[in-house]
Chain A
Amino acid sequence: MELPLLHLALVGTPNSGKTSLFNALTGSRQKVANYPGVTVERKEGFFVTPQGRQVSVVDLPGTYSLRGRSPDEEITRDFVLGKATGENVPDLVLCVADSTNLRLTIRLLLELKRTGRPMILVLNMFDIASRRGISVDVVRLAKELGVPVVTSIAVRKGGTADLLALTDEISAKLAAEPQQENNWRALSVAELRTTQREADRIISDCVSLPARPDTLTSRIDAVVLHPVGGLIVLAAILFVMFQAVFAWAQPLMELLQSGFDALGDFVHATLPAGLLQSFLQNGVISGVGSVIVFLPQIIIIFLFILLLEDFGYMARAAFLMDRIMGGAGLHGRAFIPLLSSFACAIPGIMATRVIDNKRDRLTTILIAPLMTCSARIPVYTLIISAFIPAKDVWGFINLQGLVMFGLYATGIVSALAVSFLIKFFMLRDYAPAPFMLELPDYKVPRLKSIAIGILTRAKMFLQRAGTTIFSMMVLIWFLASFPQPPAGSTEPAIDFSLAAIIGKAIEPLLHPVGFNWQIAVALIPGMAAREVAVAALGTVYAIEGGKEAAEQIGQVLATKWSLATALSMLAWYIFAPQCASTLAVIRRETGSWGWMAATFAYMLVLAYAASLLTYNLAVALGAG
């Protein structure tokens, strides 16, 4: 008889290594989605135990208690209690603890026990604890807690063998055992205190701590958390990150580009001239290809974000930035969502759920789209490489990288300014929300875990390229190709198309900022996903100019646009509310069409104003 799927849930405090254990158990067999009705990320993975049992495991958001003071923590509580809509009650709860730091987890575990769910305490990162001279009497701990205890080293091969064996052993007995009653209710302050005391007693009985704390962490923190030195380190990290995005990705991107060019040539040579050839070469290959080319840059930016997170630096960055961002009316915790917004505003806006004050959260959501997301990289890269010479300034700084850094910096400064204005005009009776955050000990990031994280992100990007972007490209190609020019006409075919009609209708509005009708056409599908604008320009100019244009869109732009138009386009993209999915997430997260409309409107106004200023300034300086 086939055994039923076993449902596991991973619960633990933030920084307990839950996610690396999850990655170790499931490898790449993961499914990332949202819980119904909320935007908390739901990560489920699958594996098979040594005895051949199929297991589904859900990585629940980290929490210090079951009180549920944020949407994330509510999910964890409801899931464990079996109250989450559409979810199975977990058969077995794995309470994950950082072995070097048991206090808070043991207290959480004592609270979890009241729910009556079968449970295992997993002492994760046991190798680090041993190396630091922490010894745990596992047998006694299990006896005191009344819960099976197992050690694990998530990041080492075979490090979860004991856990897997115990899972088999317990799950075999599960059916026979009577269901325990759920006695959980929210703890009062007095009960919390008693539970923490009880936890501390158990720890002092079962765990012997070394006299010296983790000296490496304190030595690194002496520099990294230094009031001045720390900020210099933070600025240096961000600067290296943006230089890397530009410089390291280049060879790979060129490789991908020549691959797509070759594919386009192949199609061009193989198929007879006509609509199908044009559709495949100009619509599909040149369109989707021009977006996929940016995969290396997106991987690099996620590599940095995941590395810094795993290393334990993100919480430090929040510490350093708390008061500085506080000056602009932002909470220290907003730093992480805003930093994630450099990858994409959608996870960034979703990450604002860690901010439990509503106003702080709203401000962060409103300005998150001003952080330069990776979808803008294609647009920036294209225009920069076409118009900004690739020379070094002061001998060592790449000018193109410098312009890129400037665009990012403008986004950040504007975000802070907008936040300041929101605080000043709209939320004047604002009381600063508390900032309380654990600064975890530093850990060497584990390559496997990072690789799985990047893989998941890359997959999501490619899926987008395959669905949203692909369908937009088909639409653009259609608009740019139909209606066909009348027989015997000498003008470029695109002049007769729907795209030209639409573009020329909008052009008068965009004329003051230096945009031509081709740009106007590209801005519309850019609403679906920003990076499509590049592909759309590619398609429009390709159909207009024939095969040569499709290959080197950058060179085409360099001949067709003035420098002023290019700079104006860059300025536009710093602010442009150019992504329907971001707006949809804002609508969902704020629960209001009004805030979504407000975001759209203020960004549009800023974009127009910035472009107008940039264009006229550039023309006045002779770049028109």
Chain B
Amino acid sequence: MTDTHDTRREMPLGLAQRGYTGVIQHLSAKDAGSALSDIELESRLIELGFVEGARVEVLHEGLVGRDPIAVRVDNITIAVRRREAMAVIVA
């Protein structure tokens, strides 16, 4: 699924603007600076459907600091803070 996107630059989902659409490339929990351990953060992200190849779209942003964000992950919507979304690398 990634072949249609390999011309785009990889970036963390945590920096994406409202309206951004992309595909998850990989997870990189150590870059997120979350209060959770890397393994715990990665496990939780996977449990909520953030796996390689999933399509994401940033649907909504909060009022303060545009945080948290509501992300469409394939066909479900997940609310997540930008700090944790930094672990999701998209393109």
Contact = CB atoms under 8 A, between A and B. Distances in A.
A binds B: yes
Nearest to B72: A213
Given A228-B63, A319-B62, A327-B64, A434 B35 contact: yes
B31 interface: no
A225 B70 contact: yes
Nearest to B47: A64
B59 A221 contact: yes
Contacts of B35: 357, 431-434
Contacts of A320: 62-63
A503 interface: no
Interface string A40-73: 0000000000000000000000001101010000
B16 interface: no
Nearest to B38: A189
Q: Which of A101, A104, A217, A439 has the most CB of B within 10 A?
A: A439
Interface stretch (A190-198, A239-247, A476-484, A485-493): A190-198
Given A432-B35, A436-B79, A438-B77, 14 more contacts: A64-B48, A192-B46, A193-B51, A196-B49, A213-B72, A221-B60, A322-B67, A322-B79, A322-B81, A323-B68, A327-B64, A432-B81, A433-B36, A435-B79
A213 B74 CA distance: 10
Interface in B42-91: 42-49, 51-52, 59-68, 70, 72, 74-81, 83-84
Contacts of B46: 189, 192-193, 196
B47 A192 contact: yes
Contacts of B59: 218, 221, 225
Nearest to B67: A323
21 contacts: A100-B75, A103-B76, A104-B47, A192-B43, A221-B59, A221-B77, A228-B63, A315-B79, A319-B70, A322-B67, A322-B81, A326-B64, A327-B64, A332-B79, A432-B35, A432-B83, A434-B35, A434-B36, A434-B44, A434-B80, A438-B76
Chain A residues touching B, range:
35 or more
Nearest to B46: A192
A227 interface: yes
A318 interface: yes
Interface in A186-219: 187, 189, 192-193, 196-197, 200, 209, 213, 217-218
A33 interface: no
Contacts of A139: none
A273 to B, nearest CB: 65
B13 interface: no
B68 A196 contact: no
Contact of B62 (A67, A227, A432): A227
B23 interface: no
A231 interface: yes
Interface in A318-345: 318-320, 322-324, 326-327, 332
B75 A439 contact: no
B34 interface: yes
A227 B63 CA distance: 5
B60 A225 contact: yes
Contacts of A435: 68, 79-81, 84
A441 B65 CA distance: 25
Given A103-B49, A433-B35, A434-B84, A319 B68 contact: yes
A436 B44 contact: yes
A332 B77 CA distance: 16
Contacts of B41: 434
Interface string A329-370: 000100000000000000000000000010000000000000
A103 B75 contact: yes
A436 B61 contact: no
Nearest to B62: A323
A101 B76 contact: yes
A196 B51 CA distance: 8
A56 to B, nearest CB: 29
A357 B36 CA distance: 10
List 6 tightest A-B contacts by C-beta distance, closest first.
A323-B64, A227-B63, A64-B47, A225-B60, A431-B35, A439-B77
A208 to B, nearest CB: 12
A434 B81 contact: yes
Contacts of B44: 69, 434, 436
Contacts of A440: 77
Nearest to B40: A69
Contacts of A225: 59-60, 70
Contacts of A431: 35
A230 B70 CA distance: 13
A104 B51 contact: no
A189 B78 CA distance: 20
Nearest to A210: B75
